[in-house]
Structure 1
Amino acid sequence: MMLELEDNLTHLTLSPAFGGSIVNWTVRSSGQPLLRHTDQQALASGLPGKLGCFPLAPWSNRVAEGGFVNPAGWLALEPNSPLDPLPIHGSAWQQAWQVVRQSTDEAVLQLDSTIPFAYRAEQRFQLRDGRLSITLRVTHLAEKAAWHGLGLHPYLPRRPGTQLQAKASQVWMSDATKLPTELATVPIEWDFQRLKLLPETLVDNGFCQWDGHCLIQQPDLGYTLECQATGSDYYLLYCPPGLDFFCFEPVSHPVNAHHLPGRPGLKLLEQGQSAELGFSLQYSPL
């Protein structure tokens, strides 16, 4: 079952069954995709990673060493994606969500998960005058405390003229396993203090000390997205060379934070405690 939301400018399609994911977000007047377009073939794959955006909980990206330590002891994790040897993106994206409530321009989805421990995740989607607002909230349900992290994984169209602005002061350099190795000053070709074209070479890195603001300009497609995140001091940028999409992911913690000194950005939640991340994308025609 698909959920359809719309406001005066845009139309949103959600798939609760496929990880509570966004299928498409489009301009009503023209059908112009604002996220990477999902066709029938992508939908038939049953893979959230082929859709427009999916939620990341109770962690974002990869975890090394086969698991991590919670206060109650070692939590073993199995690899959960055929495309990656490491456990990736938590468990919320691989389960069916329930529709809690829905109106013309708003929907709330909920997931009660027991994997890898008991938690409840909630996503609230709202459309208002071309602004898509997403709030992702997680509540810890298990008796023993556990580390939590959150994120969203939108796929965005990429054309030759696509430009990005997102200020960050440092970036995690990574190795062949895509795990972070050291914090470095952002190299010039990855410095998006000002609006600039995306790099032609691969970027798959986490950026730190982000102010939560991001501008995506699409002159070839005739629009801009002005984005604002809360509960997210980091973003992951994924630019695969030669493909027609890129990913800009607001996240609460860097990759493999469970094994970094001080566990940056992760929250230790006791039973009943919650954490939240918000992301809004404002569509404006150029």
Structure 2
Amino acid sequence: MSTEDVTLTAGDAEVTVRPGNGCRIQSLRIGGTELLRQGEKYGCFPMVPWCGRIADGRFRDGGTVHQMPLNSPPHAIHGFARDAEWRTARAAHLAADRAVFTYELADPWPYPGRVTQIVELGEDALTLRLGIETYGDSFPAQAGWHPWFNRNLGDGDVRVDFTPAWQEERGDDHLPTGRRVEPAPGPWDDCFGMPDGVDVTLTWPGQLELNVKSREQWVVVYDEQEAAVCVEPQTGPPNGLNTAPRLVTPVEPLETATTWTWRRL
């Protein structure tokens, strides 16, 4: 098992994964062009074992209330696996275009379990898979990804196209109110519903078109920063541990995936 960076290649595509830094996709280069914002906190990180904010850092499991660290006061945000040290699975799982990484859930998460991320690179596609399994009792969880795509690749700002069925109304505390409203124009730091699966296209003029898909029906779009835009497929909305949790059981892990495909313009 290793925490060293792993680089995968396929055709003119290259991906670098940093298991020692939250198992984030640190780099995605297509024909030498970097698509992801660079920096220790950027790239594309897995959100595990929850996505977005938890109200006041608290969630209920049956009659028990659990308190998570407030890493974005007054809330807890994006899980803590992004700050953890993952490990590359045994060498038998490694190939030039595929790698497997694992992370053992630990304090402050109150349940023992394992998270696995599989990264598969093709000449025109990147597939990311996350699985959460329990070593004991069932527990609520979420999983997703938080990519930071560069806003500009040299010929103009990226255009984000998608057709959601609804928008989760966002309160002043940045949490969904529970109401679904008509999608509003950006800028966004908002969660949208796509019941037929996440399907979002990013177009960099004169450069590249990239399509983000997932079978999940929630996606957060964040484009309020100058340098990057984020398109985050996830298994539930922000605060979902309290409002729409997925249950990880001994016989049914939580499994999710996203595939990004691209073409040159």
TM-score by length of 2: 0.89
Instruction: Determine helix, strand or coil for the equivalent of 2:250.
Output: coil
Query: How far does the alpha carbon of each residue in 1:110-161 deviate from its partner, in whole angstroms, 9 at most, with x for none?
Result: 11112312121111101111211101111122x3321111110011111344
C-alpha separation between the residues in 1 aligned to 2:76 and 2:105? Answer: 17
8 Å Cα contact 2:46/2:146 also seen in 1: yes
Residue 189 of structure 2 corresponds to which residue in structure 1?
204
The equivalent residue for 1:69 is 60
Paired residue type of 1:33: E
Shift of 1:215: 1.3
Equivalent-residue separation in structure 2 for 1:270 and 1:105 (angstroms)? 31
Letter in 2 for 1:78: P
In the alignment, does 2:82 pair up with 1:93? yes
Q: 1:247 to 1:84 in 2, by over 3 A?
A: farther
Q: How far apart are 1:72 and its partner, in Å?
A: 5.6
Instruction: Report deviation, 1:180.
Output: 1.3
What stretches of structure 2 of length at least 5 have no aligned partner?
Answer: none
User: Of residues 90, 109, 112 in structure 1, which corresponds to 2:101?
Assistant: 109
Which secondary structure does the structure 1 equivalent of 2:17 belong to? strand
The alignment status of 1:174 with 2:170, answered yes or no, reads: yes
Aligned partner of 2:249 among 270, 274, 279: 270
SS of match in other structure, 1:206: strand
SS in 2 for 1:65: helix
CA distance in 1, matches of 2:249, 2:214: 25
* Residue 158 in structure 1 maps to residue 158 in structure 2: no
Alignment coverage as a number of residue pairs: 252
Structure 1 residues 167 and 140, CA gap change in structure 2 (3 angstroms): farther
**SS at 1:60 equivalent:** coil
Q: What does 1:128-277 correspond to in 2, within 5 Å? A: 128-141=122-135, 143-159=136-152, 160-181=156-177, 182-187=179-184, 189=185, 199=186, 201=187, 203-210=188-195, 211-220=197-206, 222-230=207-215, 232-241=216-225, 243-259=226-242, 263-264=243-244, 266-277=245-256
Q: Distance in 2 between matches of 1:240 and 1:76?
A: 29
The residue matched to 1:258 in structure 2 has which SS? helix
Separation in 2 of the partners of 1:13 and 1:174? Answer: 34
Asked if structure 2 preserves the Cα contact closer than 8 Å seen for 1:71 and 1:145, the reply is no
* 2:112 is equivalent to residue 127 of structure 1: no
Give me the whole-angstrom Cα distance separating, in 2, the residues matched to 1:213 and 1:176.
27
- Residue 208 of structure 1 and its aligned partner are, at CA, apart by 1.1
In 2, the alpha carbon distance for the partners of 1:147 and 1:119 equals 12
CA shift at 1:272, angstroms? Answer: 4.8
1:70 Cα shift?
A: 0.8
C-alpha distance in 2, partners of 1:161/1:91? 31
Counterpart of 2:76 in 1: which secondary structure? coil
Task: Tell me how far apart the structure 2 counterparts of residues 4 and 225 of structure 1 sit (CA, whole Å).
Answer: 21
The question of whether the paired residues in 1 share the 8 Å contact of 2:132 and 2:248 is answered with: no
Are positions 1:60 and 2:51 aligned together? Answer: yes
Post-superposition CA distance 1:150-188 (Å, at most 9, x none): 11001111134411222211111212321112321112x
Question: Contact 1:71 / 1:146 at 8 angstroms: preserved in 2?
Answer: no
Separation (CA, whole Å) in 2 of partners of 1:269 and 1:276? 9
Contact 1:72 1:144 survives alignment (8 Å): no
CA positional deviation for 1:73: 1.4
Distance 1:238 1:98 in 2: 29
Unaligned segments of structure 1, at least 5 residues = 44-49, 190-198
Q: Is the 8 A contact 1:234 1:253 kept in 2?
A: yes
What residue identity is the alignment partner of 2:8? L
Q: Would you say the 8 A contact 1:67–1:77 is kept in 2?
A: yes
